[in-house]
Structure 1
Amino acid sequence: MPQPSPGLFDDQAPRPLADRLRPTSLAEVTGQDHLLGPSGPLARMVAARAISSMVLWGPPGTGKTTIARLLAGASDLHFEAVSAIQGGVADLRKVFEAAKGRRITGRGTLLFVDEIHRFNRAQQDAFLPYIEDGTIVLVGATTENPSFELNGAILSRVRVFILNALDADALRVLLTRAEALMDRPLPLAPEAREALVDMAGGDGRYMLNMAEQIFALAQGENLGIEDMGQLLQRRMPSHDKAGDGHYDLLSAFHKSLRGSDPHAALYYAARMINAGESPEAVFRRLACAASEDVGMADPQAMVQVMTAWGAFDRIGWPEGRLFLAQAINYVATAPKSNASYMGWYAAMAAAQRSAHVAPPMRILNAPTKLMKEMGRKAGYQYDHDYPDAYAGQQFLPDDLAGAEFYEPNERGFERDVRRRLDYWSGLKAKRNGGA
């Protein structure tokens, strides 16, 4: 529903610290330089005064509402906000009618829809005619993957921008601003301050709410980690996500996967989750292991990890632990090969040595008559015209003829790949006059 008008005494009412610290310009927004930096797409929209409809997708506390407000202000659009949790189509109709009236007077409307994914498909369709005729500029905010939660008609009319969880540097900037506003330092020891940043999990609003409690409740000397945890009634992480403990557990987890020990891999993953590590960090390491250490020995390992990760993003906790555990067990028990990984580095080394070497003319396209006269594509053999769909051509530059970078081993699916390559190698030798 539309937001209520400000009351007579609103300016005198107490406001949360996070609200008082809302940026007043896009330049003050932290952690989203990829969108708001000088070359970022949102910064370019503002510079051109051409704000298009969009969806801001990102975790909580990353500035979606703030960015929408500031985009409206920077482009002189009336800002209207509705919540998909509280509003319905009847409320939207009122907003659309008001926007039509404004448009007649020459002023546009930026409609911010919080939790837009909570509108069903039919409700989402209500936006379409007003986006198309320019009555509104729609800015939707969602913590869910728009590809799953928004219908295709909406997605075809908006741009999706991904907001990052705030990194440690961005969160530290927010703490510094909070201290300036409060005109006193946050009463925390250095290690407790860093633990507070870790606890936020990339959510700036959550961290500022905790900081506000500390400002209000802390007495006496600066609090250590345990004292802060007791004050906030939150269990403190047992490892520092920004320090050695973080990397030690990640290293132990990855090596357990590589060493085909699902028991240890599950244990270290559980250690990290219990300590406050984000599940995304565990999934990232799983994806790396699925490629670096399993690779082509079982190509399904990457599929399993990415499917589990997508299911986790869509469903979340507590069911998400099932997807995480399944992916861990799959990668840990899969056959192992680093042949793809090693092949890449061998190819990189060769590419650096031979950057000046041109590909064979026969495999270059010749879209013009002149290019054909130059000999491009002359002698190219279309593989599907040959038995086994294999012509046995040389694709590498002549200087690298016969070089091999990918050397599959005899484990898992890669055993079949090895046999296939050997078979093709034999065909190539025969067709080129070899033994």
Structure 2
Amino acid sequence: MSDLFDSPGATQEPPASRPLADRLRPAKLSEVIGQDHLLGPDGPLGTMLSAGQLSSLVLWGPPGVGKTTIARLLADETDLHFVQISAIFTGVPDLRKVFEAARLRRRNGQGTLLFVDEIHRFNKAQQDGFLPHMEDGTIVLVGATTENPSFELNAALLSRAQVLVLNRLDGAALEALLARAEAELGLSLPLTEDARAALLAMADGDGRALLNLVEQIAAWGARTPIDTDVLRTRLTQRAAQYDKSGEAHYNLISALHKSVRGSDPDAALYWLSRMLKGGEDPRFLARRITRMAVEDIGLADPQAQGICLEAWQVYERLGSPEGELALAQAVVYLALAPKSNAGYAGFKAAMAAAARTGSEPPPKHILNAPTSMMKDQGYGAGYQYDHDAEDGFSGQNYFPDGMKRGLYYFPVERGFERELKRRLDYFVKLRARREGEGK
């Protein structure tokens, strides 16, 4: 029954009838493109193979970068029987059969490399099911995932497997793959130089996607060079990789936030556009953009928060795509606004102080005394009404008695906070004078 999960048998299709991606599948690890950091002599896989010792692995990377191919070739290099399953189509009964077949193989002197595609789709109990078979050597597990393993895989499984990160294919790797494809097809694609560059961009780091596009272009049988406009008219742009609940979601919002904080409106607009193109909810972006105004601009530009709220409201009125322009304008404003996290840092410091001294009562002189009993206990006694002071400032203590005066807000010399710093310094001097007069 385990043969259902094994690699294909001896039946071979004629080469020309097989997809180009299958025909160009590397026959040895040295032919894998774009992953030299793993497969080179000093890389983790190169080192393991040199030592003749392959441990369980999790291959983490985007689609079309060679995860399945590497797993298959690792089995060849180490004389392990290759078994491939997908977490999408495999249930617990199927796993039991796979493990039993691996045990029989082991008794006959052959190990098993079990390749699990989309391993992150297994639940916790299913993932736990691999552990005893990994520990006793029944299988060498090689899992493949496009999701961050630290979010999606059990700590117990991760502790028994080394996580290797595969890179998306860069321009040089895609160009090398394109050259291989042209050699296999026995032709040079009839593309202008700009169209050739556009083709590589359309693949978006995915080698399999590139080869599928190459097959389409070759099938046109064009006799004159195809320019960029014709290419984009005939081909559908590959959708960008974006998971609204996965790592890309958090990576791109981080990139947007840091671009705003770094006062780079162009980068901020780019990351905003990447998220919108990926299908992100504009309301999520409106909320996060407003958060940026509060956290990173603060009182250095008090208008920033209002502009974000207005942009949010405009989006609610107009919807997509028209309302997205309001969000873009808010992002540009934030990127160019003076920056200060003084209010944010001050609030965090005050919250920490409140946690430490959470039971301390306010000083009695600032407590109201609505009853005679409270007046008898000293509530409100000695309170100085600031408006009665000549300069509108009494300088009294407003912290709990016995607590050292806290200093939390330190405005910066930028934007409107420069004026707030001037006011704060003024009150610091007045307070020191009042304290001197009271001695």
- For normalisation by structure 1, the TM-score amounts to 0.60
Determine the C-alpha separation between the residues in 2 that align with 1:136 and 1:79: 10
Alignment of 1:310-325 (within 5 A): none
Post-superposition Cα deviations, 1:118-146, rounded to whole Å, max 9, x if no partner, equal 11111111101000111100000000111
Specify the alignment match of 2:317 in structure 1. none
Distance 1:135 1:259 in 2: 53
Q: 1:211 to 1:78 in 2, by over 3 A?
A: same
User: How far apart are residue 230 of structure 1 and its match?
Assistant: 2.6
Q: How much has 1:10 moved relative to structure 2?
A: 3.5
Q: For the structure 1 residues 198 and 233, does the alpha-carbon distance in structure 2 shift closer, same or farther, using more than 3 Å as the test?
A: closer
1:413–1:201: structure 2 CA closer, same or farther, 3 Å change rule?
A: farther
1:70 paired with 2:73, answer yes
Write the distance in 2 (CA, Å) between the matches of 1:258 and 1:273.
19
Whole-angstrom distance in 2 between the partners of 1:15 and 1:86: 24
Which digits, 9 at most, give the CA deviation of each residue in 1:91-135, with x for residues without a partner? 111111111112122221110000011111111111010001111
1:90 corresponds to which residue?
Answer: 93
Q: Secondary structure at the match of 1:10?
A: coil
Structure 1 residue ranges without an equivalent (≥5): 238-249, 280-289, 299-321, 340-386, 389-406, 419-435
Show CA shifts across 1:322-348 (max 9, x none).
9xx989967953764499xxxxxxxxx
- What is the alpha-carbon distance in structure 1 between the residues aligned to residue 106 and residue 70 of structure 2? 23
2:50 corresponding residue in structure 1: 47
Describe how 1:6-405 pairs up with structure 2 within 5 A. 6=9, 8-11=11-14, 14-234=17-237, 258=263, 266=269, 269=271, 333=334, 336-337=338-339
Q: Deviation per CA, 1:191-237, whole angstroms, max 9, x where unpaired?
A: 11110100111000001100011111232112111222233244999
Describe the superposition over 1:238-285 as per-residue Cα deviations: whole angstroms up to 9, x where unpaired: xxxxxxxxxxxx9xx969972779xx955x5566678x8999xxxxxx
Q: Read off the aligned partner of 2:222 and give its amino acid letter.
A: Q
Closer, same or farther: CA 134–196 of 1 in aligned 2, 3 Å:
same
SS of alignment partner, residue 103 of structure 2: helix
Q: Give the Å deviation of 1:161.
A: 0.9
Pair 1:338–1:26, CA change in 2 (3 A): farther
Tell me the TM-score normalized by structure 2. 0.59
Structure 1: distance between partners of 2:212 and 2:41? 30
Give distance in 1, aligned partners of 2:75 and 2:55. 11
Residues 337, 409 of structure 1: 8 Å contact kept = no
Instruction: Report the residue type matching 1:124 in the other structure.
Output: Q
Query: Are the equivalent residues in 1 in contact too, given 2:265–2:331 (CA < 8 A)?
Result: no
Structure 2, unaligned stretches of length 5 or more?
A: 241-254, 281-290, 299-322, 342-403, 406-410, 423-439
Q: Equivalents in 2 of 1:55, 1:112: separation in Å?
A: 10
RMSD: 4.8
Identify if the C-alpha distance between structure 1 residues 227 and 157 changes in structure 2 by more than 3 Å, giving closer, same or farther: same
The SS at the match of 1:258 is coil
8 Å CA contact 1:226–1:236 kept in 2: the answer is no
- Tell me the distance in 1 between the aligned counterparts of 2:60 and 2:329: 27
The whole-number CA distance in structure 2 between the counterparts of 1:120 and 1:29 is 31
The whole-number CA distance in structure 1 between the counterparts of 2:104 and 2:419 is 69
Deviation at 1:190, TM superposition (A): 1.1
Give the conservation status (yes or no) of the 8 Å contact 1:257–1:332. Answer: no
Q: What letter is aligned with 2:334?
A: T
The CA distance in 2 between the partners of 1:259 and 1:102, in whole Å, is: 59
TM-superposition CA deviations, 1:1-53 (whole Å, max 9, x none):
61464263535682110111111111111111211122111111111111110
- Note closer, same or farther for the CA distance 1:255–1:130 as it changes in structure 2 (3 Å cut): closer
Q: Would the alpha carbon gap of residues 133 and 168 (structure 1) be closer, same or farther in structure 2, given more than 3 Å must change?
A: same
Q: CA deviation at 1:170?
A: 0.3
